[in-house]
C-alpha cells in the first residue's frame, strides 16, 4: 500500500480532484473529518473523548487524531482491499507530519508524494462567495462562473436560490488565512524533503486532473 497526500485551500477543487483520483487509481479516501464522524457513529471512545474536548473549546489533540488514522489504516490493511490511500486534511501541522511518518513507517506504507493545489485568493473568493443552490432540486450555480438565466432563480423550477451563511468575503478570507497559517509550515517540510509538487487549480477540472495523474503516474513508475 502507498499513500498520497492532497492539499488545497477551500474552493480549490480539492474535493472534486480527490474523488477523481480515488476512482481512477482505486484509492481509499481518508479525510479526517469523515473519520471523526464515522468514529462518533460507532461510539468510539477516542472520538468521544475528542468531541468532549472540542465542546469545551479545545482542539482535538494530535495523538487522538493519529489514533483514528492508525485505526482506519489497520482496518484497510486487515481487509487487504485498498490499493492505496489519499490523505485529505491530514497532516495539518508539523507535529502531525512526524506522527504520520511514524504511522506509515510502522505499517510499511510508502509515501508517493504530496500535491498542493494552488489558486489565487481572489479566484477562491469568487468561487466560494458566488455559490448558490436550489433548495428544491439541489442544482448548484455560481453567480460568477455558472449563473442562472434569471437572477437568483433556478433555471428548472424557478425556486429562489440560497447560499451558505459563511460564504461571504470576510469569512472566506479568514478561512483562507487559517488554511495558509496551518498548511504553509507543513508544505515547507515536504518541499525540503523533495516530496512536494504544486499544481495550479485555476484551470478546467479535467485539465487539473490530467496534470495530477501525470504526477502520480511518474511517482508510481519511479518507485516501480
Please list, residue by residue across 127-139, b when 16 or more beta carbons sit within 10 angstroms of its beta carbon and e when fewer do: bbbbbbbbeeeeb
Say which of 14, 72, 127, 132 is annotated catalytic: 14
Any catalytic annotation for residue 164? yes
For residue 58, indicate whether it is catalytic.
Answer: no
Active-site position among 99, 127, 131, 132: 131
Give catalytic status of residue 192 as yes or no: no
Q: What nine digits make up the cell of 131?
A: 455559490
Q: Which of 20, 70, 92, 191 is catalytic?
A: 92
Catalytic-labelled residue, pool 37, 42, 75, 164:
164
149 classed as catalytic: no
Catalytic residue, candidates 70, 107, 139, 175: 175
What residues are annotated to the active site?
14, 92, 131, 164, 175
Amino acid at each position: 500500500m502507498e499513500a498520497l497526500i492532497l492539499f488545497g485551500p477551500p474552493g480549490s477543487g480539492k474535493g472534486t480532484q480527490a474523488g477523481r483520483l480515488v476512482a481512477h487509481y482505486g484509492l481509499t479516501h481518508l479525510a479526517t473529518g469523515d473519520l471523526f464522524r464515522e468514529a462518533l457513529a460507532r461510539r468510539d471512545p477516542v472520538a468521544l473523548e475528542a468531541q468532549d474536548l472540542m465542546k469545551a473549546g479545545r482542539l482535538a489533540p494530535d495523538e487522538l487524531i493519529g489514533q483514528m488514522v492508525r485505526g482506519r489504516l489497520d482496518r484497510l490493511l486487515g481487509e487487504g482491499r485498498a490499493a492505496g490511500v489519499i490523505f485529505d486534511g491530514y497532516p495539518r501541522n508539523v507535529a502531525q507530519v512526524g506522527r504520520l511518518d511514524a504511522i506509515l513507517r510502522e505499517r510499511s506504507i510508502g509515501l508517493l508524494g504530496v500535491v498542493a493545489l494552488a489558486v489565487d485568493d481572489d479566484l477562491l473568493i469568487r468561487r466560494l462567495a458566488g455559490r448558490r443552490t436550489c433548495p428544491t432540486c439541489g442544482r448548484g450555480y455560481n453567480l460568477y462562473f455558472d449563473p442562472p438565466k434569471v437572477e437568483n432563480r433556478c433555471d428548472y423550477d424557478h425556486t429562489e436560490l440560497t447560499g451558505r451563511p459563511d460564504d461571504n468575503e470576510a469569512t472566506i478570507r479568514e478561512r483562507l488565512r487559517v488554511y495558509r497559517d496551518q498548511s504553509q509550515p507543513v508544505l515547507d517540510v515536504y518541499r525540503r524533503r523533495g516530496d512536494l509538487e504544486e499544481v495550479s487549480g485555476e484551470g478546467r477540472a479535467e485539465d487539473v486532473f490530467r496534470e495530477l495523474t501525470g504526477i502520480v503516474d511518474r511517482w508510481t513508475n519511479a518507485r516501480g
